[in-house]
A and B are shown apart, each in its own frame.
Chain A
Amino acid sequence: MAHFLARRLLLQFVVFGGVLVLTFLISHIVPGDPALLRAGPKASAETIAKIRHDMGLDRPLPVQLWVYVRELLRGDLGTSIRTQRPVIQDITEHFPATFELITTSLLVVIVVGIPLGVLSAVRKDRLPDHLSRVIAISGVSLPVFWLGLLLIYVFFVRLGWLPGTGRLDMAVEPPPTLTGLYVVDALAARDWEALRSTVRHLLLPVFLLSYVSLAPVVRMVRSSMLEVLGQDYIRTARAKGLPERLIVYRHALRNALIPTLTIIGLSYGTLLQGAVVTETIFAWPGMAYYAVGSMTYLDYPAVMGITLVSAVIYTSVNLIVDLLYGVVDPRIRYD
């Protein structure tokens, strides 16, 4: 196991290197000229050339990559063209908002999705099954941006029940920064007003994000449960007279969890992706919101920084999923 972990971590760095090169290539096939953008429309050719030189854009690509990696190892992701601030600072500021949104949504997905999938399989082709399938399928079929617009229209514009944009009401001071996660910070500071405001702001985006991400988990739990429930050892367990609840949760669910784990791991990516649109619609000041702005502006240091950070997050999730395989399925060995 330790050997596997060490090798897997080493490979993590290999992937990371690949991601770095890939991102670098993508951000440098830009047809637009970042120097031109920074210089503005009225700049002379000399000014542009000077800026291009200052930014290192006149050097060969491999040299630019080398410079980038060297700076990266010092923890420097470069300076954003758009905000004129260190990219690392921009990301650090925007990250907690996204993390809070995605993690809350993932928890909702797991807590609601697994029981719904089990219920669907156990009551196959009966009312609970049909209902849970309709919920799941409608969720995965909805365009996030469209449902987001409708939610804002109904709950903010028409009914005025919930806030439409942002993380806090204008009048509410953010809680003192501890983690950057407003819920946690507000709890820590016992700032109930901020807590109430931030929870109200979380409701619509989290509902949107978890609703559209629920289906793959429900579907996977349902189909793998159906498969497992049809197997001989389940019949044996039934024949032994074990209670149905024990059979479902101890015998069947554990074996149905392997494919489900893959899907939950992949869900993290789906959620990050859903966050791009969700944050745009709700003006949620997270990383994805920042990313859309940076990409529209062709702000390549920012784009690279965001991509690298999301790569670290995502590969770590993959690693955890791989390790969990062995925990839930002893048949899979890591030697």
Chain B
Amino acid sequence: MTEVATQARPARSLPTVRRSGRLVGRWLLRRPLTLVGAVIVLVVSSAGLAAPLLAPYNPLAIDIVGRLQPLSRAHPFGTDHLGRDLLSRIIYGARVSLGVGVTIAALGALTGTVLGLLAGYLGGKVDETIMRICDMFLAFPALILAMALAASLGPSLGNTMLALVIIWWPWYARIMRGQVLALRESEYVMAARALGASTQRLMFRHLLPNAIPPIIVQATLDIGNAILIASSLSFLGFGAQPPVPEWGAITSEGRTFLRDYWWYPTFPGLAIMITVMGFNLMGDGLRDLLDPRLRRQVGR
């Protein structure tokens, strides 16, 4: 009997995997925007990972003679005020920005989800404490707190990331709590409670799966957001410092040259926009895919 079961399992699950793979494929084809987002994320991630192979020049190599060159075959995006190849700097920038974005979103979402769930479900003192801590952090416009932290700790990319994780989790906690508050009163939760489900089971088996889709969507979108904020900080001079090829820092360096050398601040900004848009499109699609209530309607 046991033997049959172990043999039967792979035979059963393989087509299931293939079928769900095909379903996702078909679903993606019906949603071109999500597909575009996924492709952008894939391309930018690969570019970041393979930067040393792809970049035509060393992103830090200075060539004063060849400064501020317009677009050419040798320099498709031109060169900056120190003659560095902008394409190479932007390709290496993908590595910097993606690392920053993923780290901040992942750590922020993890912390916020757990605390939000506890606050929403347990209520009372736990709720008050967690939410007041949330309010404390949310009381600061994120960028101002991050600026204050970064300026105090000394401007650097590491300190910027630390500051952003610290200020990011309460957003997730609030969303999670809001979800749980609404779900807690719903009939299926009351039914489960009436059947004697334990607190733990209610929280993690009944509430979490139903409350999590907005968190996953938010986390995907927040990789983009984190890239945006980190680049804003670098633009303002509180984040990555020269000569780190960070997109916001490159835009900031190119700012004064905009009038006569338009390509200099334009391309790094474009790189930020395209990357962030990729994550946003993907996140938007993910929501529809992950939400079973919406999935039912897809065929409609």
A interface, CB within 8 angstroms of B: 11, 14-15, 18-19, 22-23, 26-27, 29-31, 130, 133-134, 137-138, 140-146, 149-150, 153, 157, 215, 219, 223, 226-227, 230, 258-259, 262, 266, 269, 272-273, 275-277, 280, 288, 291-292, 295-296, 298, 303, 306-307, 310-311, 314-315, 318, 329, 331-332
**Across-interface contacts of A138 in B (CB, < 8 A):** 273, 277
Q: Are B178 and A262 in contact (CB under 8 A)?
A: yes
Number of B residues near A (Cβ < 8 Å) is 65
- A15 to B138 CA separation, bound complex (whole angstroms): 10
Closest to B142 in A: A273
Q: Are A314 and B185 in contact (CB under 8 A)?
A: no
Q: Are A149 and B258 in contact (CB under 8 A)?
A: yes
CB distance from B217 to the nearest CB of A (A): 8
Q: Are B136 and A146 in contact (CB under 8 A)?
A: no
| Contact (A276, B132) CB under 8 Å given A149-B255, A149-B258, A230-B297 | no
**Across-interface contacts of B142 in A (CB, < 8 A):** 269, 273
**Across-interface contacts of B251 in A (CB, < 8 A):** 143, 145-146, 149
Q: Are A311 and B284 in contact (CB under 8 A)?
A: no
In the complex, chain B residues 214-233 whose Cβ is within 8 Å of any chain A Cβ: 214, 221, 224-225, 228-229, 231-232
Q: Are A27 and B152 in contact (CB under 8 A)?
A: yes
Q: Is B151 an interface residue (CB 8 A)?
A: yes
26 A/B residue pairs, CB under 8 Å, sorted by A? A11-B128, A19-B136, A26-B149, A30-B151, A138-B277, A141-B277, A143-B276, A145-B248, A145-B269, A146-B273, A149-B255, A150-B269, A153-B258, A153-B262, A269-B141, A269-B142, A292-B147, A295-B147, A295-B151, A296-B151, A298-B151, A307-B145, A318-B135, A329-B182, A332-B181, A332-B182
Question: CB-defined interface of B227-266 with A at 8 Å, one 1/0 digit per residue?
Answer: 0110110011110000000001001100100110010011
A-B residue pair count with CB separations less than 8 angstroms: 177
B interface, CB within 8 angstroms of A: 33, 128, 132-133, 135-136, 138-145, 147-149, 151-154, 171, 174-175, 178, 181-182, 185, 214, 221, 224-225, 228-229, 231-232, 235-238, 248, 251-252, 255, 258-259, 262, 265-266, 269-270, 272-274, 276-277, 280-281, 284, 287, 291, 293-294, 296-297
- A325 to B178 CA separation, bound complex (whole angstroms): 10
CB distance from A32 to the nearest CB of B (A): 9
CB distance from B90 to the nearest CB of A (A): 13
CB distance from B242 to the nearest CB of A (A): 16
Closest to A223 in B: B287
CB distance from A236 to the nearest CB of B (A): 17
Q: Are B269 and A146 in contact (CB under 8 A)?
A: yes
CB distance from B94 to the nearest CB of A (A): 15
- A142 to B235 CA separation, bound complex (whole angstroms): 14
- A170 to B291 CA separation, bound complex (whole angstroms): 54
Closest to B135 in A: A15
CB distance from A142 to the nearest CB of B (A): 5
Q: Are B135 and A315 in contact (CB under 8 A)?
A: yes
Q: Are A14 and B228 in contact (CB under 8 A)?
A: no
CB distance from B44 to the nearest CB of A (A): 13
CB distance from A234 to the nearest CB of B (A): 12
**Across-interface contacts of B273 in A (CB, < 8 A):** 138, 141-143, 146
- A143 to B139 CA separation, bound complex (whole angstroms): 23
Q: Are B149 and A276 in contact (CB under 8 A)?
A: no
Q: Are B140 and A149 in contact (CB under 8 A)?
A: no
Closest to B269 in A: A146
Closest to A138 in B: B277
- A314 to B135 CA separation, bound complex (whole angstroms): 9
**Across-interface contacts of A275 in B (CB, < 8 A):** 141
**Across-interface contacts of B287 in A (CB, < 8 A):** 223
A15, A27, A145: the one within 8 Å of B235 (CB): A145
**Across-interface contacts of A288 in B (CB, < 8 A):** 141, 144
**Across-interface contacts of B141 in A (CB, < 8 A):** 269, 272-273, 275-276, 288, 310, 314
Q: Are B259 and A157 in contact (CB under 8 A)?
A: yes
A146-B269, A259-B178 given; name 14 further pairs at CB < 8 Å.
A18-B136, A145-B236, A146-B251, A146-B265, A146-B272, A153-B258, A219-B284, A223-B287, A230-B293, A276-B232, A296-B151, A298-B152, A318-B135, A329-B182
**Across-interface contacts of B235 in A (CB, < 8 A):** 143, 145, 277
Closest to A332 in B: B181
**Across-interface contacts of B133 in A (CB, < 8 A):** 18
- A22 to B148 CA separation, bound complex (whole angstroms): 11
Q: Are A291 and B147 in contact (CB under 8 A)?
A: yes
Q: Are A230 and B294 in contact (CB under 8 A)?
A: yes
Q: Are B272 and A331 in contact (CB under 8 A)?
A: no
- A325 to B28 CA separation, bound complex (whole angstroms): 36
- A19 to B99 CA separation, bound complex (whole angstroms): 30
**Across-interface contacts of A269 in B (CB, < 8 A):** 138, 141-142
**Across-interface contacts of A295 in B (CB, < 8 A):** 147-148, 151, 238
**Across-interface contacts of A331 in B (CB, < 8 A):** 182, 185
- A18 to B153 CA separation, bound complex (whole angstroms): 20
Q: Are B281 and A137 in contact (CB under 8 A)?
A: yes
- A18 to B132 CA separation, bound complex (whole angstroms): 9
**Across-interface contacts of A307 in B (CB, < 8 A):** 140, 144-145, 148
B139, B145, B175, B270: the one within 8 Å of A15 (CB): B139
Q: Are B297 and A310 in contact (CB under 8 A)?
A: no
**Across-interface contacts of B149 in A (CB, < 8 A):** 26
**Across-interface contacts of A26 in B (CB, < 8 A):** 145, 148-149, 152
**Across-interface contacts of B135 in A (CB, < 8 A):** 15, 315, 318
The 9 residue pairs across chains A and B that have the minimum distance between CB atoms: A146-B269, A272-B141, A141-B277, A311-B139, A273-B143, A141-B276, A295-B151, A18-B136, A273-B141
